[in-house]
Homo-oligomer: A and B are copies of this chain.
Amino acid sequence: MMKSILGALVLWSVAAAPAFAGAVEDMLETDRAFAAMAQEEGVPAAFAAYAAEDVRMLPNGAQPYMGRELMIADFADWPENASMTWTPVEGMASKKGDFGFTWGRYVYTGVNAEGEEIVAHGKYVSIWRKEKNGDWKFVVDVGNSNPAPEETP
Protein backbone atom coordinates (compact mmCIF):
# COMPACT_ATOMS: atom_id res chain seq x y z
CA MET A 1 0.00 0.00 0.00
CA MET A 2 2.66 2.50 1.09
CA LYS A 3 4.77 1.54 -1.93
CA SER A 4 1.93 2.18 -4.32
CA ILE A 5 1.27 5.52 -2.62
CA LEU A 6 4.89 6.50 -3.19
CA GLY A 7 4.54 5.35 -6.78
CA ALA A 8 1.51 7.56 -7.17
CA LEU A 9 3.39 10.52 -5.69
CA VAL A 10 6.27 10.02 -8.09
CA LEU A 11 3.91 9.78 -11.05
CA TRP A 12 1.98 12.86 -9.97
CA SER A 13 3.56 15.36 -12.30
CA VAL A 14 2.89 13.02 -15.23
CA ALA A 15 -0.52 11.64 -14.30
CA ALA A 16 -1.95 14.96 -13.19
CA ALA A 17 -1.23 16.85 -16.41
CA PRO A 18 -3.75 19.65 -16.00
CA ALA A 19 -6.47 20.19 -18.58
CA PHE A 20 -6.27 23.97 -18.02
CA ALA A 21 -2.56 24.51 -17.66
CA GLY A 22 -2.72 28.31 -17.90
CA ALA A 23 -4.84 28.86 -14.81
CA VAL A 24 -3.13 26.07 -12.89
CA GLU A 25 0.29 27.51 -13.69
CA ASP A 26 -0.94 30.96 -12.64
CA MET A 27 -2.24 29.62 -9.32
CA LEU A 28 0.96 27.68 -8.64
CA GLU A 29 2.99 30.78 -9.40
CA THR A 30 0.76 32.84 -7.09
CA ASP A 31 1.13 30.24 -4.35
CA ARG A 32 4.95 30.34 -4.77
CA ALA A 33 4.94 34.14 -4.59
CA PHE A 34 2.73 33.90 -1.48
CA ALA A 35 5.26 31.50 0.14
CA ALA A 36 8.17 33.75 -0.83
CA MET A 37 6.45 36.77 0.72
CA ALA A 38 5.90 34.77 3.94
CA GLN A 39 9.66 34.19 4.08
CA GLU A 40 10.55 37.80 3.34
CA GLU A 41 7.86 39.77 5.16
CA GLY A 42 6.42 37.25 7.59
CA VAL A 43 3.46 34.86 7.52
CA PRO A 44 0.83 37.38 8.76
CA ALA A 45 1.73 39.95 6.06
CA ALA A 46 1.65 37.33 3.32
CA PHE A 47 -1.75 35.98 4.41
CA ALA A 48 -3.12 39.53 4.53
CA ALA A 49 -1.88 40.15 0.98
CA TYR A 50 -3.26 36.99 -0.65
CA ALA A 51 -6.55 36.36 1.20
CA ALA A 52 -9.88 37.25 -0.40
CA GLU A 53 -12.13 39.53 1.68
CA ASP A 54 -14.55 36.61 2.16
CA VAL A 55 -11.88 34.00 2.90
CA ARG A 56 -12.91 30.86 4.80
CA MET A 57 -10.22 29.97 7.33
CA LEU A 58 -10.29 26.38 8.59
CA PRO A 59 -7.40 26.21 11.08
CA ASN A 60 -6.38 22.80 12.41
CA GLY A 61 -7.46 22.44 16.06
CA ALA A 62 -9.64 25.56 16.10
CA GLN A 63 -13.07 26.65 14.94
CA PRO A 64 -13.54 27.83 11.34
CA TYR A 65 -14.18 31.49 10.68
CA MET A 66 -14.78 33.77 7.75
CA GLY A 67 -13.29 37.04 6.58
CA ARG A 68 -9.93 38.64 5.96
CA GLU A 69 -10.37 41.09 8.85
CA LEU A 70 -10.82 38.27 11.38
CA MET A 71 -7.87 36.46 9.82
CA ILE A 72 -5.64 39.49 10.32
CA ALA A 73 -6.79 39.72 13.96
CA ASP A 74 -6.11 36.00 14.39
CA PHE A 75 -2.57 36.37 13.02
CA ALA A 76 -1.82 39.08 15.59
CA ASP A 77 -0.93 36.13 17.89
CA TRP A 78 1.62 34.73 15.41
CA PRO A 79 4.85 34.13 17.39
CA GLU A 80 7.81 36.18 16.23
CA ASN A 81 10.13 33.19 16.40
CA ALA A 82 7.85 30.93 14.31
CA SER A 83 8.27 30.34 10.62
CA MET A 84 6.25 28.50 8.04
CA THR A 85 7.51 27.51 4.63
CA TRP A 86 5.46 25.76 1.99
CA THR A 87 5.79 24.41 -1.53
CA PRO A 88 2.84 23.74 -3.82
CA VAL A 89 2.78 20.30 -5.45
CA GLU A 90 0.04 20.73 -8.06
CA GLY A 91 -3.50 21.95 -8.63
CA MET A 92 -6.60 21.92 -10.78
CA ALA A 93 -8.80 24.65 -12.29
CA SER A 94 -12.31 25.22 -13.57
CA LYS A 95 -12.97 25.22 -17.33
CA LYS A 96 -12.97 28.98 -17.59
CA GLY A 97 -9.81 29.22 -15.48
CA ASP A 98 -11.42 31.53 -12.89
CA PHE A 99 -11.39 29.13 -9.93
CA GLY A 100 -9.29 26.25 -8.69
CA PHE A 101 -6.96 24.97 -6.03
CA THR A 102 -3.35 24.26 -5.28
CA TRP A 103 -2.14 21.88 -2.62
CA GLY A 104 1.29 21.36 -1.21
CA ARG A 105 3.41 20.65 1.81
CA TYR A 106 4.39 22.90 4.68
CA VAL A 107 6.96 22.88 7.44
CA TYR A 108 6.23 24.87 10.59
CA THR A 109 9.11 25.71 12.89
CA GLY A 110 8.48 27.25 16.27
CA VAL A 111 9.61 27.27 19.88
CA ASN A 112 7.59 25.72 22.72
CA ALA A 113 7.12 27.01 26.29
CA GLU A 114 10.37 25.27 27.33
CA GLY A 115 12.31 27.07 24.61
CA GLU A 116 12.73 23.89 22.58
CA GLU A 117 12.38 23.96 18.81
CA ILE A 118 9.30 22.25 17.38
CA VAL A 119 9.13 21.21 13.73
CA ALA A 120 5.74 20.16 12.35
CA HIS A 121 5.06 18.80 8.88
CA GLY A 122 1.81 18.86 6.99
CA LYS A 123 -0.06 19.56 3.80
CA TYR A 124 -2.49 22.29 2.80
CA VAL A 125 -5.11 23.15 0.21
CA SER A 126 -5.60 26.72 -0.99
CA ILE A 127 -8.70 27.37 -3.09
CA TRP A 128 -8.16 30.32 -5.43
CA ARG A 129 -10.56 32.69 -7.17
CA LYS A 130 -9.55 35.08 -9.91
CA GLU A 131 -10.82 38.50 -8.85
CA LYS A 132 -12.21 41.15 -11.21
CA ASN A 133 -8.84 42.89 -11.40
CA GLY A 134 -7.20 39.63 -12.51
CA ASP A 135 -5.47 38.93 -9.17
CA TRP A 136 -5.76 35.47 -7.68
CA LYS A 137 -6.88 35.48 -4.03
CA PHE A 138 -7.41 32.46 -1.83
CA VAL A 139 -10.97 31.88 -0.62
CA VAL A 140 -10.20 28.80 1.52
CA ASP A 141 -7.18 27.91 3.63
CA VAL A 142 -7.13 24.44 5.17
CA GLY A 143 -4.37 22.07 6.20
CA ASN A 144 -3.50 19.16 8.42
CA SER A 145 -0.49 17.25 9.70
CA ASN A 146 1.49 14.30 8.47
CA PRO A 147 4.82 12.71 9.37
CA ALA A 148 7.88 14.24 7.70
CA PRO A 149 7.81 12.99 4.10
CA GLU A 150 11.30 11.48 4.42
CA GLU A 151 10.10 9.38 7.40
CA THR A 152 7.58 7.53 5.24
CA PRO A 153 8.89 3.97 4.79
Contacts and interface: CB of A to CB of B under 8 A. Distances in A.
Contacts of A94: 94-96, 98-100
A67 B4 CA distance: 11
Interface string A6-38: 001100100110000000000000000000000
B152 A5 contact: no
A70 B64 CA distance: 29
Interface residues of A, number: 48
Contacts of A101: 101, 127, 140
A144 B122 CA distance: 11
A64 B103 contact: yes
A64 B1 contact: no
Interface string A116-152: 0000000101010100000000011011111101001
A104 to B, nearest CB: 9
Contact of A63 (B16, B143, B149): B149
A141 to B, nearest CB: 10
Interface of A: 1, 4-5, 8-9, 12, 15-16, 54, 56, 58-67, 70, 73-74, 89, 92-96, 98-101, 103, 123, 125, 127, 129, 139-140, 142-147, 149, 152
24 contacts: A1-B74, A5-B63, A9-B66, A12-B66, A15-B54, A56-B103, A58-B125, A64-B89, A64-B103, A64-B123, A92-B99, A92-B127, A92-B129, A92-B139, A93-B99, A94-B99, A94-B100, A95-B96, A95-B99, A99-B100, A101-B101, A101-B127, A103-B140, A125-B142
